[in-house]
């Protein structure tokens, strides 16, 4: 299909949008934490895809390629904050924030997970680097190599980043529950 | 709201410390641990209620992101505007 898109076939381009709009929307929405910014990033993603289809090298899936484009478009809406601590937080400290070693109310946590708005709100509070790894691996279920390529990191870094990002998401949900 | 009860210290159960289990929860949930380590992790989780509860919440979180957020589609009006723009600008 990308060959037809590259050749300027409008129907093929529309089909590309139809097939992948959900994944691109979710990625843009998660990474920008804003409906309007997500729409802008999504438009730019598909424009870039339709204009640049000829440059696709056929490595990995079309979806992984599109989500890589979406990530780059969404990244324009945020900058990595300066002055963030570079020393990694020990895993057990992240775990503690996420409820590890605490007898939290398990039912309240599971209920919170069923609440899509609450889940999105917790995602929106994460740093972009945490959001993007959760989006690519857990939400869109790219393979490890596909996600690592999209993020420009190696597999072991991806794995570590994903585990920590999940713990931070759990910590956000726990903090939210404590405010109830 | 009262502060939840805290576990006194990490424990050694099934040949793994609680901290070891925390470190490998991602692989345990994904089913990518070696058979030996997976057996140790299962033994730990069977004997450590603290880690079993947390492991359950971790797995539920991964599942919820996939199932609850992954089911969301682009709003129809957004898709319409994108198709219209593509039609104009290509």
Are A113 and A43 in the same domain? no
Residue A40 is assigned to a structural domain of this protein? yes
Q: What is the ipTM of this complex?
A: 0.88
Q: Measured between alpha carbons, how far apart are the two ends of chain B, in Å?
A: 58
A113 to chain B: closest CA residue: B64
Residue with tokens 């869109």: A140
For chain A, positions 17-56, list CB contacts with chain B under 8 A.
Answer: 17-18, 21-22, 24-26, 29-30, 35, 39, 42-43, 46-47, 50-51
Are A104 and A128 in the same domain? yes
Residue A61 is assigned to a structural domain of this protein? yes
CA-CA distance, B28 to B31, in Å (whole number)?
5
CA-CA distance, B84 to A42, in Å (whole number)?
13
Q: What pLDDT score was predicted for residue A60?
A: 77
- Is residue B86 within a helix (H) or strand (E), and if so which, with residue range? helix B76-89
Are A96 and A157 in the same domain? yes
Q: Would you call B72 and A50 a contact, using CB atoms and an 8 Å cutoff?
A: no
B10 vs A: CB within 8 A: yes
CB-closest option in A95, A134, A180 to B22: A95
Residue A8 is assigned to a structural domain of this protein? yes
For chain B, positions 11-30, list CB contacts with chain A under 8 A.
Answer: 18-19, 22-23, 25-26
DSSP-derived secondary structure letter, B12: E
Are A98 and A168 in the same domain? yes
Packing angle of the helix pair A155-178, B49-64 (nearest 10 deg): 100
pLDDT in tens, B55-64: 999 999 999 9
Q: What pLDDT score was predicted for residue A79?
A: 57
Q: Considering only CB atoms, which chain B residues are within 8 Å of A123?
A: 65, 69
Contact B21, B48 (CB under 8 A): yes
CA-CA distance, A1 to A53, in Å (whole number)?
10
Residue with tokens 């990033």: A41
Q: Output the domain CATH number for residue A138.
A: 1.10.10.10
Residue A84 is assigned to a structural domain of this protein? no
Q: What pLDDT score was predicted for residue B67?
A: 94
pLDDT in tens, A115-166: 999 999 999 999 999 999 999 999 999 999 999 998 999 999 999 999 999 9
Are A170 and A121 in the same domain? yes
- pTM of the entire predicted model: 0.87
Are A43 and A120 in the same domain? no
Domain that holds residue A104: 91-178
Q: Considering only CB atoms, which chain B residues are within 8 Å of A113?
A: 60-61, 64, 68
Residue spans of chain A under pLDDT 70: 78-87
Are A68 and A96 in the same domain? no
Are A63 and A97 in the same domain? no
Structure tokens at A74: 């969404």
Domain count, chain A: 2
Q: What pLDDT score was predicted for residue A81?
A: 45
Q: What pLDDT score was predicted for residue A83?
A: 47
Residue A105 is assigned to a structural domain of this protein? yes
Contact A74, A28 (CB under 8 A): yes
Q: What pLDDT score was predicted for residue A120?
A: 93
Q: Would you call B65 and A21 a contact, using CB atoms and an 8 Å cutoff?
A: no
Q: What pLDDT score was predicted for residue A82?
A: 47
Are A97 and A171 in the same domain? yes
Are A135 and A56 in the same domain? no
Q: Which of A47, A75, A103 is the last residue of a domain?
A: A75
Are A159 and A118 in the same domain? yes
Q: What pLDDT score was predicted for residue A80?
A: 47
Q: Which of A23, A48, A75 is the last residue of a domain?
A: A75
Q: Considering only CB atoms, which chain B residues are within 8 Å of A29?
A: 72
Q: Considering only CB atoms, which chain A residues are within 8 Å of B87?
A: 10
Q: Output the domain CATH number for residue A18.
A: 1.10.1740.10
């Amino acid at each position: 299909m990308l060959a037809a898109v590259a050749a300027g076939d409008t129907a093929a381009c529309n089909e590309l949008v139809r097939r992948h709009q959900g994944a691109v929307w979710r990625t843009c929405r998660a990474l920008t934490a804003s409906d309007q910014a997500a729409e802008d990033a999504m438009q730019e993603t598909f424009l870039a895809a339709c204009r640049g289809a000829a440059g696709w090298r056929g490595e990995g899936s079309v979806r992984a390629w599109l989500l890589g484009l979406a990530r780059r478009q969404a990244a324009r809406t945020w900058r990595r904050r300066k002055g963030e601590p570079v020393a990694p937080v020990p895993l057990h400290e992240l775990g503690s924030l996420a409820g590890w070693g605490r007898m939290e109310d398990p039912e309240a946590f599971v209920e919170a997970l069923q609440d899509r708005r609450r889940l999105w709100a917790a995602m929106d509070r994460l740093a972009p680097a945490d959001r993007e790894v959760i989006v690519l691996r857990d939400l869109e279920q790219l393979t490890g190599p596909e996600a690592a390529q999209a993020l420009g990191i190696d597999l072991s870094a991806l794995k570590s980043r994903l585990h920590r990002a999940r713990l931070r998401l759990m910590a956000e949900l726990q903090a939210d529950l404590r405010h109830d | 709201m009262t502060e939840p009860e805290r576990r006194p210290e990490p424990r050694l159960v099934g040949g793994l410390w609680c901290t070891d289990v925390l470190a490998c929860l991602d692989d345990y949930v994904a089913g990518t641990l070696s058979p030996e380590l997976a057996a140790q992790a299962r033994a730990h989780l069977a004997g450590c209620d603290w880690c079993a509860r947390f492991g359950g919440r971790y797995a539920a979180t991964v599942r919820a992101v996939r199932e609850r957020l992954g089911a969301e589609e682009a709003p129809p009006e957004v898709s319409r505007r994108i198709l219209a723009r593509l039609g104009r600008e290509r």
